Amino acid sequence: MSTPVTFWRSVEELRAHADRAVSRDCLAGLRAQGQQPESPSRRDFLSVAGFSVAAAAISACSRGAEQKAIPFLNQPEGMTPGVDTWYATTCGGCRAGCGLLVKTRDGRPIKVEGNARSALFGGGTCAVGQATVLSLYDGERLEGPLWHGRPASWTDIDAKVEAFLSADGARPKRLVLLSRTLLGPATRALIAEWSQGRGLRHVVYEPISLAALRRATLAAFGVDAIPHFRFGRARTIVAIEADFLGTWLSPVEFTRDYASGRRPEESAAISRHIHFESTLSLTGSNADLRVAIAPSEQGAVALSLLRRIARKLGAGDPVETLETTSAARALDIAADDLWRCRGESLVVCGARDFDTQMVVHAINALLGNIGRTVDVDRPSLQHRGDDDAMAGLVEEMRRGEVDALLLYGVNPAYDYPRADEFVQAMKHVPLTISLSDRLDETAALADAVCPDHHFLEAWGDAEPVASFFSLAQPTIAPLFDTRAAQDSLLEWLGRPPDFHAYLRDHWRRTLYPRQQQFATFDEFWDRALHDGAFAPADGATARATRTLTGDWRRSAARLAARAGSVRPEGRFEAHVYETVAIRDGAHANNPWLQELPDPVTKVTWGNYAVVAPSVATRLGITAGDVVSLDGGDIRLDLPAWVQPGQSPHAVSIAVGYGRSRAGRVGSGLGTNAFPLLAADGRSPSQASLTITRTGRREPLAATQTHHSMEGRDIVRQISPAALVDDAGDRREADDAASLWRARPAAEHAWGMAVDLNACTGCSACVTACQAENNVPVVGKDEVRRGREMHWIRIDRYYTGSEDDPATLVQPMMCQHCGHAPCEPVCPVLATVHSSDGLNQQVYNRCVGTRYCENNCPYKVRRFNWFEYASNDRFDFNMNSPLGRMVLNPDVTVRSRGVMEKCSLCVQRIQAGKLAAKQEGRTPQDGDIQTACQQVCPAEAIVFGDLNDPASRLAQLAKSARGYRVLEELGTRPNVHYLAKIRNAPDGGRS
């Protein structure tokens, strides 16, 4: 930290550049001259400001600080300082197990990208995946193992554990491993060895569980797994409370597949998406037709859909009952579309209820979707949580029937709905060992904490979908004295703690024989490590039946019996959901994710109670009013948020907040909503809450409070019919006469196209840009003042009525205008236009007048109001040497008083041009990808050279759907947008 300086005004500038540009000699020299009055009088100032003193002081400053350059002792082969090295691995951010390519520079990972070679996931990632590179450098990570809260050595802990396990040898110990879904076959094999050798029982616990779906799939098709849903093969998609583009099951894969069915340039047919849900989710906001339902109506909606499909089959009503749902018209349309596209349709449901899932399976089966859009032959292995087993475990623990409990990747003391019960039950377990990487709520109660590596430091494998395998390899040597969880398990099993060897051996025995391409195992292994993914050609693994078994009729009858129950007056159903950024709260300490505006509400840094506008009016609530949600045995106080499209019968609260031991960034933010899941153990639809105002206010930090386009044509939406009619009709605003002289044409003309039809609003691009360009985190207070620093933002607009709006999203970044309003107004020419079409921001020239920000019609320029790096006031990732390891060395870290904005990843453009130059050629289309383009799972952003007629950008710029935002102002932006296509039924719905 810089030392405080007393009087010299120019030295303040030196202070802002802390320990680099300022010579400590210089400051010492000034202080030594003894010129330190308390408050200098004018006479003192003049005497000190004498030129002779100035010259002496400044000449002493001209040397600058001495810098050391320390090379390796022995240079590792294959690594050049300043050149990136890429490793293929598998993401551990959530359970989906997407393939990754991790960019490391000088031995440390700084950016995460998807693995374009992955057949399942492609090159995109989600926002959480992007943020995992920062969680590697989290200061909350434990630096070594703990025993009863005090640091211990691995040998000590191993000795204690082994002593416990072998003590009292007559009776075998009852050991339980409580873990999250483990995707790795090798890890599962290791646990199987524990089960056989030591009688270990493995319970899989997921706080947001899909156990009902798995049980229903077992009952219906004989497969103990969740089906693999193929959205790319579906021309009609009906979803009931399933946020499959945002948080449900495998959002990156589903987004990629979903977007592939909605590209009019590639196929004539656009898919139709109908959505039933209680709160406006990311996925629901993309639907062509969306209906708000209460959570308790999920079953009724599924049942009504089943009846309609059954009627189309002429099968008669499977259940005799009256219609009880209000979504009748939407259900008619859904049924018609599903029937029309049978075999190419898909119904998915996120309800945590067995009967509803059985009915949905029945619908898919009747439509002939099984084996086509619903794959049960190669099912998904991404969620294997077992709620019954977990409840049973807690009971056994309470009765003292568990001797040792290993906790791996779980935090039930926080996220178990009846967390108090779990905490009490833990006390009856003689030995508890947590493998958590930090001292979270559960680890703080454990006897031993044996911290696992971060997934970027560890070996592993994954099988997210049956017969689709991927590897995980370390991208950096472990930063702390942590040990791989599998190594710990091997050690305690009495085996050498080398999971790398175990993993290789497992692949040699099980997967190497399943391929014919490589003659030796080492060749196969090297190729698998290089590619990241391996899919043996030998077909299905699950013996599935495509005909529906199981008594789905009984499920339908049970749903019918439940439907029509009267909701108490003045009470609301609790609806608990995951946000795209925070998910189940495991990443609560990640500042990038906390500051990521929620794709729908645009609120950051906390959760809130989402209420419908009609409810808000009736109860006199505005956004930010703290309300009390009272459900009898549970009471939560949190600020309210008024959300268009919210079901008037439900109040929605996001989980993942209210953590007490997340770390400096995440602790104490928001309110814990997991207890709301406890009402009937799983589904929250039975919880019944009252909402009362407390009179307190807690303003929320929302990045977008303005939702109107003010009559301007900013986001455009068309129907598929209009696309055909209007082909070829494009206004060319550039033909208008201009006051500016034309610029000479250069070799390249960089531009971008954003397909609003493919963009779902997932905001992965926002985090990718933050990671790539060293964009600082500013914290909740500054976000409230509108000072968030994201270079790209997703604007979200509503059209239609308040209760039932349609949503439009638009990624907005610097438009790199040909006639940029920001350029002529800079008094120091800090923002100029490059020869190849970029609007450049020169940080070192900027003096911070902010005239450019004022003039920008798109409001994409961000100002550094404070020194965000190395500043205790902004104690996020840039305030510690560990956190700063994530910074991209190719991009300047901006200081206070400087304007910044999207540069179209000029560092990547330079690198791409240089790579082409090194190979003696010009850059080809696709060589250079901006960070936002690279990360997008839907491939909605396309960067390219407008001068290259063969480039994808040039084709898209000529599209009939294409337009530029506010082009009537004459700014001539180089970013083109392709209008969203709303495939609404009847061609209507604005």
Partner 1 sequence: MRAAAVFIALAAAVAPIAVALAAWELSRVGVHQGYAPIQPIAFSHKLHAGDYQVSCMYCHWGARTSRHAGIPSLNVCMNCHGLLTRQTTDIERLKEAVQQGRAIAWTRVHNLPDFVYFNHSQHVIGGVACQDCHGPVQTMERVRQDKALTMGWCIACHRARGPELQLARQATLGRGDPHAPFPGLDCGKCHF
Q: Is 914 in the site for partner 1 (CB under 8 A)?
A: yes
From the list 39, 41, 62, 196, which residue makes contact with partner 1 (rule: CB under 8 A)? Answer: 62
Residue 73 is a binding residue for partner 1 (CB under 8 A): yes
893 binds partner 1 (CB under 8 A): yes
Handedness of CA 230, 231, 236, 237 (dihedral sign): positive
Q: Which region, left, alpha or beta, applies to residue 122 given φ > 0 means left and ψ of -120 to 50 means alpha?
A: left
Q: Is 86 in the site for partner 1 (CB under 8 A)?
A: no
Closer residue to partner 1 in complex, CB, 70/566: 70
Query: Distance (Å, rounded) from C-alpha 341 to C-alpha 50?
Result: 86
- Closer to partner 1 at the Cβ: 731 or 743? 743
**Contact yes or no for 962/956 (Cβ under 8 A):** yes
Is 7 a binder of partner 1 (CB under 8 A)?
A: no
State how far Cα 591 lies from the chain centre: 12
Please state, as a whole number, how many other Cβ atoms lie within 10 Å of the Cβ of residue 514: 13
Smallest distance from the beta carbon of 741 to partner 1, in angstroms? 13
Stretch that binds partner 1, among 316-324, 776-784, 918-926, 968-976 (CB under 8 A): 918-926
Residue 205: CB minimum distance to partner 1, A: 46
Interaction between residue 742 and partner 1 (CB under 8 A): no
Pick the closer one to partner 1 by CB: 547 or 918.
918
User: Vertex 26, ends 25 and 30: CA angle to 5°?
Assistant: 115
Residues 6+ apart with CB under 8 A from 171: none
Rule CB under 8 A: is residue 541 a binding residue for partner 1? no
By CB under 8 A, which span of 41-49, 219-227, 684-692, 829-837 interacts with partner 1? 829-837
- Complex with partner 1: residue 92 or 883, whichever CB lies closer: 883
CB-CB contact of 206 with 386 (8 Å): no
How many amino acids of this chain bind partner 1 (CB under 8 A)?
A: 55
Closer to partner 1 by CB, 191 or 822: give it: 822
Q: How many angstroms separate the CA atoms of 435 and 410, rounded?
A: 9
Please pick, from the candidates 28, 45, 81, 567, the single residue that binds partner 1 as defined by CB under 8 A. 81
882 binds partner 1 (CB under 8 A): no
Q: Which of 268, 543, 844, 872 binds partner 1 (CB under 8 A)?
A: 844
Give the residue, chosen from 688, 907, 927, 962, that forms a contact with partner 1 under the rule CB under 8 A: 907
Q: Is 946 in the site for partner 1 (CB under 8 A)?
A: no
For the record, the structure tokens of 468 come out as: 């689709």
Q: Which is nearer to partner 1, 520 or 918 (CB)?
A: 918
Residue 779 zone, left/alpha/beta (φ > 0; ψ -120 to 50; rest): left
Cα distances from 278 to residues 241, 245, 685, 943, in angstroms, run: 7, 16, 11, 37
Which residue of 31, 63, 554, 696 would you call a contact of partner 1, by CB under 8 A? 63
| Residue 823 interacts with partner 1 (CB under 8 A): yes or no | no
Please report how close the Cβ of residue 118 comes to partner 1 at its closest, in angstroms: 28
Q: Find the shortest distance in angstroms from Cβ 567 to partner 1.
A: 58
Count of beta carbons in the 10 Å neighbourhood of residue 867 = 21
Alpha-carbon distance of 520 to 955, in angstroms, equals: 46
CA distances from 916 to 82, 86, 746, 747, 907 (A): 17, 19, 17, 14, 14
**836 contributes a contact to partner 1 by CB under 8 A:** yes
CB of 784 closer than 8 Å to CB of 701: yes
Other residues' Cβ atoms within 10 Å of the Cβ of residue 43:
8
Q: Does 924 bind partner 1 (CB under 8 A)?
A: no
Per CB under 8 A, contacts with partner 1 among 744-783 are: 744-747
Residue 253 in the binding site for partner 1 (CB under 8 A) = no
Name which position in 892, 952, 966, 985 contacts partner 1 (CB under 8 A). 892
- List the interface residues with partner 1, window 26-55 (CB under 8 A): 51-52, 54-55
Q: How many CB atoms lie within 10 A of CB 312?
A: 16
- The DSSP string of 877-892 is GGGSTTGGGGS-TTSP
Least distance (Å) between residue 787 CB and partner 1: 22
Least distance to partner 1 from the beta carbon of 54, Å?
6
Interface with partner 1 includes 9 (CB under 8 A)? no
Q: Which one of 4, 82, 316, 881 is in contact with partner 1 (CB under 8 A)?
A: 82
User: Residue 832, interface with partner 1 (CB under 8 A)?
Assistant: yes
Structure tokens at 221: 């098709």
For 452, which DSSP code? P
Nearest residue (CB) to partner 1, 680 versus 747: 747
CB of 88 vs partner 1, minimal distance in Å: 22
Q: Are 705 and 644 in contact (CB under 8 A)?
A: no
Angle at 734 between CA 730 and CA 739, to 5 degrees: 160
Return all residues near 262 (Cβ < 8 A) that are at least 6 apart: 270, 271, 757, 758, 981, 983
CA distances from 325 to 79, 330, 848, 948 (A): 63, 10, 58, 55
Chain positions contacting partner 1, by CB under 8 A: 20-21, 51-52, 54-55, 58-59, 61-64, 66-75, 80-83, 744-747, 832, 834-836, 838, 840-845, 890-893, 903, 906-907, 910, 914, 917-918, 920-922
